[in-house]
Amino acid sequence: MTTEAQQAWNRTIGNVIAAAEKMPEDGYSFKPTPESMSFRDIVAHTADSAMGACSALNGERKTAGAAGMKTKEELVGALKAAQAECDKAYAPNDAKGAEMITGGRGGPRSRLSTLWGNTVHIEHEYAQMAVHLRLKGLVPPSSEGRGGMGRGRG
């Protein structure tokens, strides 16, 4: 089961990083509506959230520091740092996956459930990134190569 969680994480973070790399630097300030987060804010939140969740599972909660970053290069770097931290947390180990974790949202839950929750959260952030890309006339990474105008799922 932890291998499946790792595979889902790898797909999700791969799409997130590809989206962050695909958006031009000047698109990082783009907001679909005044109330929406900018693309930059979504990338920063995603990096900080993933780093926090995974580093806590690895034994020492850290931040990527992305909230204060401004450039595309810095933010993509923060995502990649979070990915490296999460790669350690998602290392397949079914016995460890059954361990109960305390101190997180919603009370005690298994490590595996915590990992799935992180993936679902980051997938939600990717969905917002995909909307930003579409509104800028760009095909999201998860829709590339699907024929037509890239208007497949994702």
- What residues contact residue 37 under an 8 Å CB cut-off, 6+ apart? 31, 45, 128
Q: Tell me, what's the pLDDT at 94?
A: 82
SS (H, E, C) 44-70: HHHHHHHHHHHHHHCCCCCCCCHHHCC
Rounded CA separation 144/91 (Å): 28
pLDDT of the residue at 154 = 45
Report the pLDDT value the prediction gives residue 109, as an integer from 0 to 100: 87
pLDDT value for 104: 63
Question: In the numeric block, which tokens belong to residue 147?
Answer: 């024929």
What pLDDT is recorded for position 101?
84
pLDDT for residue 80 = 98
Q: What is the mean pLDDT of each run of 10 residues along the chain (154 residues)?
A: 95 98 98 96 98 94 96 98 97 87 76 94 98 97 71 44
The pLDDT of residue 152 is 43
